[in-house]
Structure 1
């Protein structure tokens, strides 16, 4: 879970920051929040490329189908193909992930800016 979290976070930031910068240049200043929200959604979806397979492995281990994550990945891929690692579908994880990142980062950035101005 730790490796998954680190990898997903790295992908999120790697997508969020460049996307945000491009969108901020494209959008008028009064729509900068939309740039942050859109970049957050893109980053959340990209991070799900790691989070979804991790969730599949975790769920199957919790039901006792596998005793180790490496065995789970190997056997799921062998029996169901690469697609099997995305069996829960992006809807389960992405609905939560995208809405979380769509709101979290713009709010964090805005509050961080407000705190800097107040200090």
Structure 2
């Protein structure tokens, strides 16, 4: 529940920044993709997918994290030492976040395909986008860019979540091991998200190109296929600078999104825990 509310809140509030980022990364460029016009195109698809996507991520993330902590604490005597504990914790956070992202992408990718194609005005309505993709590309068309999306999300989340958890741990330790409050966690989520977003922008550009690419490209050029081919092609045709297209809106979007996402998530957890205690 907390993850679902957090995902919906973050994606809804910051949708225009996501649209601007997508248009900057498109092959035709920002102006040709629509500029500042209709910046809420594709929001319905994003809104529908946000709640189950974020919920599935956090259910998987928390379950794997708790399972691995239980297993690790029973196995290693060295785990009690602080250095080994921090190293073990980072590995646990990265593994749990990776599993969470892979599971969430089963929902995220179809909504991303529809959303991003609407953001560059390929389609005017969600129904038209869905029916056209199914008719021309089949059900697999909705999962176009699945592997590139996973390939982007894994390094992103392996940077973001260990950093987020580490900042929370150090902040709590600095303040006498007290519980980190939701508004404090939101700031740490913002920092971790912004850094991860900047580092993984080239992967995001490649993912966007692959998702927006169709079998019959309007520009008459061959479609983008995999990340390596796409990255090489962008560098050769447009220069390496293009791999960082949209980095400003992306970092801003994910930093602000991290503030909302982690703040709402932690607040949701706190509220639900308090309600459970009252029921008891």
Smaller-chain TM-score bracket: 0.7 to 0.9
Task: State the match for 1:118 in structure 2.
Answer: 174
Question: CA–CA distance in 2 between the matches of 1:71 and 1:23?
Answer: 44
- TM-score normalized by the length of structure 1: 0.83
Does the alignment pair 1:52 with 2:109? yes
Question: CA–CA distance in 2 between the matches of 1:14 and 1:71?
Answer: 32
Does the alignment pair 1:17 with 2:59? no
- TM-score normalized by the length of structure 2: 0.39
Q: CA RMSD in A?
A: 1.9
Task: State the match for 2:71 in structure 1.
Answer: 26
Question: CA–CA distance in 1 between the matches of 2:90 and 2:119?
Answer: 39
**Greater C-alpha Rg:** 2
Task: State the match for 1:41 in structure 2.
Answer: 98
> Do 1:33 and 1:106's aligned partners in 2 also have CA atoms closer than 8 Å?
yes
1:98 counterpart (131, 149, 154): 154
CA offset at residue 63 of structure 1?
A: 4.5
> Do 2:49 and 2:111's aligned partners in 1 also have CA atoms closer than 8 Å?
yes
Task: State the match for 1:5 in structure 2.
Answer: 50
Question: CA–CA distance in 2 between the matches of 1:38 and 1:97?
Answer: 12
> Do 2:134 and 2:142's aligned partners in 1 also have CA atoms closer than 8 Å?
yes
Q: Deviations over 1:9-66 (max 9, x none)?
A: 1111011000111112223433222111100111111111122112211233245432
Question: CA–CA distance in 1 between the matches of 2:70 and 2:121?
Answer: 50
Secondary structure, counterpart of 1:67 in structure 2: coil
Question: Runs of 5+ in structure 1 lacking a partner?
Answer: none
What is the aligned residue count?
A: 118
